[in-house]
Structure 1
Amino acid sequence: MAVAAAVPRVAYAARAEESRGRIVAESDAGNRSAFRRDADRIIHSSAFRRLAHKTQVFVYHEGDHFRTRLTHTLEVVQVARSIARALGLDEDLAEALALAHDLGHPPFAHAGERVLDACMAAYGGFDHNAQSLRVVTRLENRYPAFDGLNLTWESHEGIVKHNGPLAEPPPHAIAAHAERQDLWLWSWPSAEAQVAALSDDIAYDVHDMDDGLRARLFTVDELAELPLLGEVVAGIRADWPGIGTSRFVHEIGRRMITVLIEDVVRETHRRAGTLGLASSDDVRHAGQALVGFSGRTAEAERTIKAFLFRRMYRHPRVVRIMDEAGQVVRDLFARYMDDSTALPAEWRETVENLPEARRARRIADFIAGQTDRYALAEHQRLFDRTPELR
Structure 2
Amino acid sequence: MLQPYACNPEASRGRRFAESYSTFRTPFQRDRDRIIHSSAFRRLKHKTQVFVEHEGDYYRTRLTHTIEVAQVARTIAGALGLNTDLAEAVALAHDLGHPPFGHTGEDALALLMEPYGGFDHNAQALRIVTRLERHYADFDGLNLTWETLEGIAKHNGPVAQPWNYALAEVNAQWDLELGTNASAEAQVAAVADDCAYNHHDLHDGLRAGLFTESDLCELPVLGECFATVDKLYPGLDPMRRRHEALRRVFGVMVEDVIAVAKNRLESLRPRHVDEIRAMQGPIIRFSKPLYQNIKAIKGFLFTRMYRAPSVVVERQRVTGIVNALFPLFLERPELLPEDWQADVARARAKGNSELARTVLDYVAGMTDRFAIQEHQRLFGAD
TM-score, normalised with respect to structure 2: 0.98
Between the aligned partners of 1:39 and 1:60, the Cα distance in structure 2 is 25
Deviation at 1:274, TM superposition (A): 2.8
Q: Is 2:109 the counterpart of 1:116?
A: yes
Q: Is 2:11 the counterpart of 1:18?
A: yes
The residue that corresponds to 1:357 in the other structure is 353
Q: Percent same amino acid at aligned positions?
A: 53
Q: Deviations over 1:323-381 (max 9, x none)?
A: 11011011000100111122111123311233100000010000111000110111111
Q: Deviations over 1:34-89 (max 9, x none)?
A: 00010000000000000000010111232100000000000001110110111110
Q: Is 2:376 the counterpart of 1:383?
A: no
Aligned Cα root-mean-square deviation (Å):
1.0
The residue that corresponds to 1:280 in the other structure is 273
Q: Is 2:290 the counterpart of 1:297?
A: yes
The residue that corresponds to 1:200 in the other structure is 193
Q: Is 2:201 the counterpart of 1:217?
A: no
The correspondence of residues 134-173 of structure 1 with structure 2, limited to 5 A, is: 134-173=127-166
Between the aligned partners of 1:58 and 1:300, the Cα distance in structure 2 is 25
The residue that corresponds to 1:366 in the other structure is 362
Q: Is 2:65 the counterpart of 1:75?
A: no
Moved over 3 A (4+): none
The correspondence of residues 58-137 of structure 1 with structure 2, limited to 5 A, is: 58-137=51-130
User: Secondary structure of the residue that 2:173 maps to in structure 1?
Assistant: coil
Maintained 8 Å contact 1:342/1:382: no
Deviation at 1:282, TM superposition (A): 0.6
Q: Is 2:181 the counterpart of 1:185?
A: no
- The amino acid of 1:138's aligned partner reads R
The residue that corresponds to 1:319 in the other structure is 312
Aligned partner (choices 267, 271, 280) of residue 260 of structure 2 = 267
Between the aligned partners of 1:140 and 1:240, the Cα distance in structure 2 is 50
Between the aligned partners of 2:315 and 2:215, the Cα distance in structure 1 is 25
Deviation at 1:260, TM superposition (A): 0.8
Between the aligned partners of 2:162 and 2:61, the Cα distance in structure 1 is 32
Between the aligned partners of 2:23 and 2:69, the Cα distance in structure 1 is 28
Q: Deviations over 1:16-36 (max 9, x none)?
A: 000000000111111211000
The correspondence of residues 34-53 of structure 1 with structure 2, limited to 5 A, is: 34-53=27-46
- Alignment gaps of 5+ in structure 2: none
The farther-off stretch of 263-272 and 251-260 is 251-260
- The amino acid of 1:376's aligned partner reads I
Maintained 8 Å contact 1:51/1:103: yes
- The amino acid of 2:371's aligned partner reads A
User: Secondary structure of the residue that 1:179 maps to in structure 2?
Assistant: helix
User: Secondary structure of the residue that 1:56 maps to in structure 2?
Assistant: coil
Between the aligned partners of 2:196 and 2:336, the Cα distance in structure 1 is 36
Between the aligned partners of 2:51 and 2:281, the Cα distance in structure 1 is 35
Maintained 8 Å contact 1:275/1:286: no
The farther-off stretch of 238-247 and 142-151 is 238-247
Q: Is 2:239 the counterpart of 1:243?
A: no
Between the aligned partners of 1:61 and 1:50, the Cα distance in structure 2 is 14
- Alignment gaps of 5+ in structure 1: 1-7
Between the aligned partners of 1:90 and 1:289, the Cα distance in structure 2 is 17
Between the aligned partners of 1:195 and 1:169, the Cα distance in structure 2 is 23
Maintained 8 Å contact 1:79/1:203: yes
User: Secondary structure of the residue that 2:340 maps to in structure 1?
Assistant: helix
Deviation at 1:384, TM superposition (A): 2.3
User: Secondary structure of the residue that 1:232 maps to in structure 2?
Assistant: helix
Maintained 8 Å contact 2:54/2:369: no
Between the aligned partners of 1:183 and 1:349, the Cα distance in structure 2 is 30
Between the aligned partners of 2:360 and 2:241, the Cα distance in structure 1 is 43
Between the aligned partners of 1:324 and 1:104, the Cα distance in structure 2 is 21
Between the aligned partners of 1:265 and 1:163, the Cα distance in structure 2 is 18
- The amino acid of 1:204's aligned partner reads Y
- The amino acid of 1:279's aligned partner reads H
- The amino acid of 1:167's aligned partner reads A
- The amino acid of 1:269's aligned partner reads K
- The amino acid of 2:341's aligned partner reads R
Maintained 8 Å contact 1:165/1:186: yes
Maintained 8 Å contact 2:225/2:246: no
Deviation at 1:169, TM superposition (A): 4.1
- The amino acid of 1:45's aligned partner reads S
- The amino acid of 1:64's aligned partner reads D
User: Secondary structure of the residue that 1:154 maps to in structure 2?
Assistant: helix
Deviation at 1:177, TM superposition (A): 1.0
Report the number of matched residues: 379
